[in-house]
Structure 1
Amino acid sequence: MKHCLLLLSLALLTVNFGYAQTEDIKDAKDTGERKDYNKWTIELSAGQSKGTKPFTVGYYSSNPDKLFGSVKFNTFSLGVRYMFSAKFGLKADLSSDLFSNNKNTDSKDFKMQQYRFGLQGVVNASRLFNIQQELGRLSILIHAGLQAARATPKYKPDENVPGYFYNKSELNMGVMFGISPEVRVSKKFSIIGDFSTLSNFRQHFTWDGRVSDKANNLAGQMIMATVGLTYSFGNDNIHGDWAIIDEGKLKEIEELDKRIGELESMLNDTDKDGVPDYLDVENNSIAGVAVDTKGRMVDINKNGIPDELEKYMANTYVDKSNIKETLETANADMIKRLINEGYVTTYFDSGKVKPTNVSTEGIDFMLTYLRNNPNASIDIIGHADEIGKTAFNDKLSNDRANTVKNTLIKAGINASRLNILSQGEDASVAVDSADARRLVRRVTFKVKD
C-alpha cells in the first residue's frame, strides 16, 4: 500500500508541476523555436504491471479488499523513440515483468517472469490538437503498436501440479495501447508517466503458470503503470517534444529579421551628418559642416573646400588688406590640414581591398589636389580593424594603400609622388562595435613637406 501511495503521489506531483510551470511559449530561447529539433529520445521507467486475465481458479494478484491491492515495482523498461515529424514517431522498448500473488491474500503462490519487446507508433497529442501553448511544460504522448513477449513460470511447487510447467517458456504476441503524460523539468530532461493496456492474440499460459490446450488460445490481458525519465538528444538545446515546429512561420520571421537588419544598416549614419548611409554619397563629411540631401559638404564655388569652412577661415584668419592672396594661402593651408588630419578618407568593407562605392570621392579629392599642386607628394596610409590575425591585417592595410596608389597612377599621377605606408590594425575603436570598425577600415593621406 505504501508503494501504491508513493506512485500515486509522484504521478499527481508530476501533473501539478506541469500546470504550475506553464510558461510563455513565445520565448524562443525556452521553447526551441527551431527547424533542427531533437528527434531522438531515450526513456527509462519503472512501475507495476498486472495480468488481469486469465487466471486459474484460486489464483489472483490483487487484494479484493483493498482499492489498489499490494503495489510494488515489478516492471522495468528501457525505450528509444525517433520522431519522423513534429507529430509522429516510432518507439522501440524492452521490458521486464515479474508477476506473483499478493502475499496478503488467500491466493495460491505463483510467479511468472516475462520479457517483452514492443514496436509502437507515437503521436505527440499536444501538437496534434494544437494545445502546446496552453499546456506549457506538460506534454501528452499517445502510443500503440505490437509486442512480443517470452513468458516463463518461475514458481517451483513442492509436488507435481497438473498443468503447471516450471521454467518452460512460450512466446506470446499481442497489441498494446497507452497514454504518456510528461513534464519537462530541464532543457532536455522530462519526467514521464505511462498508463498502458496489452491484449495478446496468442497466449497459452495463464498468468499463474498453467498451460492450456494448444487449440485453446487464452487471449491474455494485462495493464501497466510506470513513471520514469526521458532525455532528448541532438544539436538543439531543448527537448524535442517541446520544440515548436512551424516552418512557414519560421521562414516569415527569418525574412522579417533580415529586412529589419537591412533597414538598421541603411539607417546608420557613420559621419553623423544627419543623412543615413544609404543616401549618403559622402559618408566622411566633417562634423558640424552643412551638407546637402545626399550628405555632400556644400561647396558652391567648387574649389574643394566646404563653403562653411571657407567662410570661417575668411572671417577669422584672412588679411583684409590683401584678401585675394591671403584667402588663397589660407585655403591651401586649410586643404593641407584637412588632408593631414584624416578628413580626406577612403573606406573599405571588411577584408576587402576595393574601396566602397560611396568613399571613392576621397581618391577624387587627392587626384584634384595633386593636379593643382604638381610639386606635392603624399603618403598613402593603409589601415585595418582588429578582426583577424595581425599578419593578415598588416598585409590587408598595405594592399588597400596600394590599390589607391594604383588608381592615382592610372589617373596620371607620377608614381614617384606617391609613398605607401601600412599602419596595420587600428585599436582606437571598440573591437565589438561593427559601426566603429567601419571607421578604421580606411586609407588616409598625408602631404609630405
Structure 2
Amino acid sequence: MKKLVLPFLVLTSYLLTAQEEISIQEETSIEVGSENNYDKWSIEISGGMHKPSRPFANGYATSTPSFGQAGLGVRYMFNNKFGLRLGLGYGSVENDDNSLPFKSTYYRSTLEGVINLTNVLNFQDWTNTFGLLVHGGAGYSFANYNEPVELDVNDQMLNFMVGVTPQVKLGNGVALFGDVSAIGHTRQTLTWDGTEVSHTRGLDGFTVNFSLGLSFYLGAAEKHADWYSEKNSLKEKVVGLEDRVAKLEADLIDSDQDGVPNYLDREQNTMSGVTVDSKGVAVDRNNNNIPDEIESSLDNRFVNEEDYIINGGISIEELINKGYVNVYFQFNSDKPEAYSLSAINYLIKYMQENTTATAELIGYADELGQAEFNVELSKKRAKKVYDILIASGIAESRLSFTGKGEDASVEKSSSPARQLVRRVTFRLK
C-alpha cells in the first residue's frame, strides 16, 4: 500500500502547493491577455493492455500483460502547468492458458490532478513536439464477476491512481500519447476471479494499465495549454514585431530621395532634386514631360536648330558637336529621361540624311559615387543610346561608344547641375 499511497500523497501535496502559483499566473494572465492565447479543454480516448496482479485465488491468473482495457477522459487546464482530469475506465479480466477459467469486468471513474512537466521543467526550451504529463487522484470503481459462476453482486471499491503520460504533438488540435498508470483499490471484497473473499490488507486490489491514445484539443486558439510557453510566446511576439518594424523600414525607404516613401511613391525614379507632389510625381505644370524645376536649365542647353540659324547660322552638325544636343539620365541609372528621346532623334535624322557620317557616343556621370563605378555607369549610358540608334536603323559600323566617367565641370552640391552632366553627348566624324 505504501508504494502507491506515498506517490499519491506527494502528488496531491504538490498540487495543493501549486495553487498559489496558479492564482498568481492567472492574475498575470489577465494582465498580459495570455488567457486567450491557448485552449484549456481536451478529450482523451485510449486503449491497450493491463495487468491485474492481486488478489487472485489459487489456480487463477491472467496473461502478463493482457489486452482488454480502454479509457475516456476529459481534462481542463487551469494554466499551462496544472489542471484536473475526469477519467472513465473499462477492463476485461480473463484467465490465461494456465489458469482455471474465469471472466470479470471492471469499471472505474477517477478525478485526478494533472501536472504538465513540459512547462514545469521548461522542456519547451528545447522541444515543441514532445511533452510529459503526470497525474494522480482517487475515485470509485466496481467489478462484475461472470464466470465460472455469474454472481449477482457489484464489488464496489475506492481507487487510487497515479501515472505518467508522454505525448507527441501531431498538430495544433491533436496529440498522440502513451500512459502507464498504477491503480490500487480499497474495499475490494472478492478476488479478481470472483471465487473467494479477498483477505489482502491495505490496498485490496492492484492493477497496472498500459495505454495508447489520442488527445483532441477543444477551442479556437492556435495552441493548447500542453504546448503553450509564455517564454516562447514572447519570443514569437518579438519576432513578429521585428518583422513589422522591418516592413515599416522597407516601406519608408525613399529610393529617389524625393521625400515620399516608396510605398506612397507613384514615381519611384523621380529625377534628383526636383519638386514632387504628395504622391511622389515630379511637378510638370505644362505637361511636356520635363520637370518644371530643370526646364529653364535645359532650355539653355537644348536649343532647336531654327533659333541658331536665325541668330548665327549654326548648323545641326555644329549643334551636335558643340554639345547642345544631349541625352540625359536619371540618377544612378542608364535609362534615358523621356524628354531626351528627341535628342536621339536629332542624330538619327542627321545620319539618315548624311549616309556617310559616323558618330561617337560619349557617356558621362556626375561626381557622386566611386570613380570606377561612374566610369562603368557612363559606358552603360553610352551603350544604351547606341542600342537605341541601332534599333532605329543606323548601321553598327557607323557608331562607336565610350564612357568618360565623371564630369566635374559643375558644382557637386547642386542637384540640377548634376542632372546636366548625367548625359550622353555626340561627336560626328
Q: TM-score, normalised by structure 2?
A: 0.52
Give the equivalent residue in structure 2 for 1:75: 69
Deviations 1:183-211 (A, max 9, x none): 23445333221111011233222222256
Give the equivalent residue in structure 1 for 2:160: 175
For 2:206 and 2:189, the matched residues in 1 are separated by 12
Give the equivalent residue in structure 1 for 2:345: none
The residue identity in structure 2 corresponding to 1:274 is: Q
The question of 1:273 aligning with 2:265 is answered: no
Deviations 1:216-256 (A, max 9, x none): 76532111111122222332455653344435444444443
**Aligned pairs for 1:133-282 within 5 A:** 133-157=125-149, 166-210=151-195, 212=197, 219-237=204-222, 241-246=226-231, 247-267=233-253, 269=254, 272-275=255-258, 277=260
Distance 1:170 1:285, change over 3 A: closer
Deviations 1:70-98 (A, max 9, x none): x4421011222222222222222211111
For 2:56 and 2:274, the matched residues in 1 are separated by 97
Deviations 1:386-437 (A, max 9, x none): xxxxxxxxxxxxxxxxxxxxxxxxxxxxxxxxxxxxxxxxxxxxxxxxxxxx
Report SS of the residue matched to 1:58. coil
Check conservation: 2:37, 2:223, Cα contact below 8 A.
Answer: no
Report SS of the residue matched to 2:118. helix
Report SS of the residue matched to 2:38. coil
Gaps of 5+ in 2: 1-33, 285-290, 312-429
Alpha-carbon shift at residue 166 of structure 1 (Å): 0.6
Report SS of the residue matched to 1:263. helix
**Aligned pairs for 1:87-106 within 5 A:** 87-102=81-96, 104-105=97-98
Alpha-carbon shift at residue 100 of structure 1 (Å): 1.7
The question of 1:110 aligning with 2:102 is answered: yes
Alpha-carbon shift at residue 99 of structure 1 (Å): 1.0
Task: Calculate the aligned-residue CA RMSD, in Å.
Answer: 4.1
Distance 1:283 1:156, change over 3 A: closer
For 1:249 and 1:118, the matched residues in 2 are separated by 38
The residue identity in structure 1 corresponding to 2:108 is: R
For 1:206 and 1:121, the matched residues in 2 are separated by 29
Report SS of the residue matched to 2:50. strand
Distance 1:312 1:289, change over 3 A: farther
Distance 1:282 1:313, change over 3 A: farther
Give the equivalent residue in structure 1 for 2:42: 41
Deviations 1:298-346 (A, max 9, x none): 99xxxxx744222113433585889xxxxxxxxxxxxxxxxxxxxxxxx
Among 256, 267, 270, the alignment partner of 1:287 is 270
Deviations 1:100-121 (A, max 9, x none): 221x21x333222111112212
Alpha-carbon shift at residue 291 of structure 1 (Å): 4.4
For 2:89 and 2:263, the matched residues in 1 are separated by 71
Give the equivalent residue in structure 2 for 1:369: none
Distance 1:222 1:273, change over 3 A: same
Give the equivalent residue in structure 2 for 1:316: 302
Check conservation: 1:273, 1:291, Cα contact below 8 A.
Answer: no
Check conservation: 2:49, 2:211, Cα contact below 8 A.
Answer: yes
Alpha-carbon shift at residue 178 of structure 1 (Å): 0.7
Determine what percentage of the aligned residue pairs are the same residue.
28
The residue identity in structure 1 corresponding to 2:88 is: L
Q: TM-score, normalised by structure 1?
A: 0.50
Check conservation: 2:184, 2:204, Cα contact below 8 A.
Answer: yes
